[in-house]
Each structure stands twice: as structure tokens, then as C-alpha cells.
Amino acid sequence: MMEMLEKLMISNALVFAFAFVGIIMLLSTQLAKRLTNGRVHASAIAILIGLGLAYWGGTQTGGKMGLADVKLFGGIGLMGGAMFRDFAIVATAFEVHAEEARKAGLIGAIALFIGTVVPFIVGASIAWSFGYRDAIAMTTIGAGAVTYIVGPVTGAAIGASSDLMALSITTGVIKAIIVMVSTPALAKFLRLKTPRSAMVFGGLAGTVSGVSAGLAATDRKLVPYGALVATFHTGLGCLMGPSVLFFATKALVG
Amino acid sequence: MIIYGTALLAACHLVGIYLGDLLGKLLGAKSNVGGVGIAMLLLIFCRLWLHNKGHLKHETELGIGFWGAMYIPVVVAMAAQQNVVAALKGGQVAVLAAFAVVALNACIISVINKMEVHEDVDNVKNVATHQA
């Protein structure tokens, strides 16, 4: 019996994932209502449950894909993978008020630029203070502080070792998770209320995953504005990391 | 038909990501540059254009709206496949760098967004003086 059930779930992985995430959403909506009186957004709780399950999956399998590495939950990997994620993000653009987005275009671009340079400097400086004194190590860790994709792309381009790349990816993943978890709590401090403020947030907070989950847990209406800017983050980072930022670091530390 | 909406969304997605790849290659970035953002802009323009032409039927909109509404569940699935174990064990450098970056960026975001309120206040003042 159990074996048949397991087979059914594995051969219908994506369908099972839809049902499973539906249950998580139902659970988190009830938790939000009953435990927090609606103060904490249901999506925030759902994302935390997701991260918790990812931790559990990681300890079970020793893999890198959280829950998706558990055979039974392979469908989660497809449902939350880059293809569906990007498809759903693009779909949210349908709700964008073109005029609002255009008005905040410039400040969004400025935020994007600051959001690439500042994390790099902070990341590289902390790497330096921990004894990573050569330009390649500092650049790779600094790039990881931009996003967890910029890190390895930059590292590969400038010839960093694999343990440096791993450290840089980890920095980016931790950043994304902190943004996901802390955004709803910091929403007031960040003044996340308007489309413009969401675009500034998207540019500065970086990482599509962090921004999209953080905004989803704060105010679903703001998601497309933040995502619109954040999706340029990785591209700009991969552009500047192995070039301008690497050369600047090299000029500074030799 | 609903599929028209979903197909339009899919077309924008594919063209956007292709253009992003092309842009990345052109700039020598070794990655996609803003593909999803370009796809979003394409969809915004398509909507405006179709709306003005009167070709945008409610059914078509549903074919896109469904995927927009699936966004949060997809994000939950995305959260469930993060490498949380590695993140928690990540070593001091990674943890400290990530926290410092988020904290500093939060302050910058707060400052920039504070200016928005000031602008609004200025506008109100200008209008007020104008009226006076």
C-alpha cells in the first residue's frame, strides 16, 4: 500500500507539489489568523515553513536543494525552480501601473547601482578583516554578498578556488534568507508602502529570491515593482564583478 | 480563450530571457542581464497595446492572472529548496558579511524612501503656495 502511494507521488511529482504547498498555505493562513491575530502575514509564515522544511531536507539527504532532494518531494524542485519562479514573476507584471513604474525608473536604477557596489565593498572588507587579503578572494566573497549567482560567476571568471566559491555562494544564500525573513518585520523602518519604495527596495536588497519572498510576505501588491528592478541585479553584478569591481580591488590591495 | 493569455505570457517570458542572454553576451557579462525584467516590460507594453486596441478580453486576462496569483505558492516552494543547512553552518565570514550588507542596505533604503515623503510634502507645499 505505502509503496503504491509513494510511487504515485513520485510519478506525479509536480501535482503532488501543488497539493503539498496548498496544505502549507492553508496551515500558515490558520496560524497567522489564530496565533498572531493577522499581524504576521500568512505568506511570511509559509516561507518560514518552507525554509524549515529545506533545513530538514538538507539534513536528511546532505544535498544542496533542501526539501527538493528528498525523493518524494522532487516536484517542489520543479515548482520552485527558476522556470516557474520567473514565469510567475513575469505574470505579476500584468498588475503593474506603467506610469508608477516609469516615474520611479531613475531612482530604481540608482538603487540598483548602489545595491551592487555597497554589498561588494562590505563583503570584500569583511573578507579582508578575516585575513583574505588577495584581490581574487576579496572579489569573490564581495561578489557573493551581491547575490549568490554573482559570486560564483565572478569567481569562475577570475579563477577563484572552489572553497572560495562555496563561501561566496553561502554569503549570498544567507543574505537572501535574511532578506526573506526580516523584510516583513522591517517594513515600517524601510517605509515599504508605495510602488516607488518597492522599486528602491528591489534595487538595494538584491537577490530576486530575497526580494520576491520578502515583498510577498509584506504586501503582495508591491511584488511586481520590486521584482522588476531586482531582476536586473544579477545581470549588473555579473557585469561589474569580474571587471570594474575586480580591477578596483586589485588596484587597492595589489 | 484562456490559453491566449498564458501563451502571451509565455512568449514575453521567452523573448525577454532570450534578449537578456543576448544583452549579457553583448556586454560580456557571462550571464543573463535582466531577462526577467525585460520580459516584464514586454508584458506591460503588450497589455497597454492590446487594451488600447480593445483586444484584451477578460478570459485572456485570466490566463495571465492565474500565474500571477500562483506567485506566492511558487515562492514557498522556492524557499523549501534553499540550501539552509549550508547557510546555517556558513562560517563567520559569510554570516557576518551577509548581516552587515543587509543592515547597511536597510538603512540606505530607509533614507532613500524617507526622501519620497519629503518630496510629497514639498509638492503639497508648492500646491498650497500656488493656491495662496
Inter-CA distances, A75 with A45, A47, A84, A115, B73, Å: 21, 17, 12, 33, 13
Average pLDDT over residues A4-31: 93
Cell numbers given for B102: 543587509
Option in A84, A91, A239 nearest B29 (CB):
A239
Both A123 and A59 in one domain: the answer is no
Both A60 and A108 in one domain: the answer is no
Both A161 and A56 in one domain: the answer is no
Both A159 and A247 in one domain: the answer is yes
Cell numbers given for A142: 564581495
- H-run or E-run covering B104: helix B91-131
Q: Give the DSSP letter string of B27-81.
A: HT-SS--SHHHHHHHHHHHHHHHHHHHT---HHHHHHHHHHHHTHHHHHHHHHTT
* Spatial CB neighbours of A95, under 8 Å, sequence gap ≥ 6: A221, A224, B68
Residue A10 included in any domain: yes
Cα separation, A65 vs B87, in Å, equals 12
Within an 8 Å CB–CB cutoff, is residue B110 touching chain A?
yes
Mark B105-124 as b/e (b = at least 16 C-beta within 10 Å). Answer: bbebbbebbeebeeeeeeee
- H-run or E-run covering A148: none
- CB contacts of A175 in chain B (<8 Å) are 97-98, 101-102
- Residue ranges per structural domain of chain B: 1-81, 83-132
The band of B118, judged by pLDDT with boundaries at 50, 70 and 90, is low
- CB contacts of B88 in chain A (<8 Å) are 55
Option in B12, B80, B84 nearest A76 (CB):
B80
Both A123 and A247 in one domain: the answer is yes
Where is pLDDT greater, at A235 or A199? A199
Cα separation, A171 vs B131, in Å, equals 54
Both A56 and A110 in one domain: the answer is no
Q: Which tens digit of pLDDT belongs to each residue from A43-92? A: 778 888 988 999 999 999 988 888 999 999 999 999 988 899 889 888 98
Both A27 and A67 in one domain: the answer is yes
Within an 8 Å CB–CB cutoff, is residue A61 touching chain B?
no
**Record: contact B71-A89, CB cut-off 8 A:** yes
Within an 8 Å CB–CB cutoff, is residue A140 touching chain B?
no
**Record: contact A189-B97, CB cut-off 8 A:** no
Cα separation, A226 vs A232, in Å, equals 11
Both A55 and A163 in one domain: the answer is no
Both A220 and A169 in one domain: the answer is yes
Inter-CA distances, A42 with A64, A248, B99, Å: 26, 44, 25
Both A199 and A147 in one domain: the answer is yes
Residue A91 included in any domain: no
Domain stops at, among A45, A80, A115: A80
pLDDT > 70? residue B131: no
Under 8 Å between Cβ of B1 and A52: no
Both A181 and A217 in one domain: the answer is yes
Both A129 and A15 in one domain: the answer is no
Structural domains in chain A (count): 2
- CB contacts of A243 in chain B (<8 Å) are 28
Within an 8 Å CB–CB cutoff, is residue A47 touching chain B?
yes
Domain stops at, among A53, A80, A107: A80
Domain span at A194: 98-253
Q: Which tens digit of pLDDT belongs to each residue from B31-45? A: 777 788 889 889 989
Average pLDDT over residues A109-120: 91
Under 8 Å between Cβ of A119 and A145: yes
**Record: contact A88-B35, CB cut-off 8 A:** no
The amino acid occupying position A249 is: T
Q: What is the ipTM of this complex?
A: 0.82
User: Which segments of chain A does DSSP mark as H helices, in order?
Assistant: 2-11, 13-35, 42-61, 74-79, 82-92, 98-103, 105-129, 135-144, 150-158, 162-190, 195-205, 208-216, 223-230, 233-240, 246-253
- CB contacts of A205 in chain B (<8 Å) are 102, 105, 109
- CB contacts of B85 in chain A (<8 Å) are 54-55, 58-59, 66
pLDDT > 90? residue B89: no
Under 8 Å between Cβ of A40 and A28: no
- CB contacts of A88 in chain B (<8 Å) are 67-68, 70-71, 74-75
Confidence (pLDDT) at A33: 86
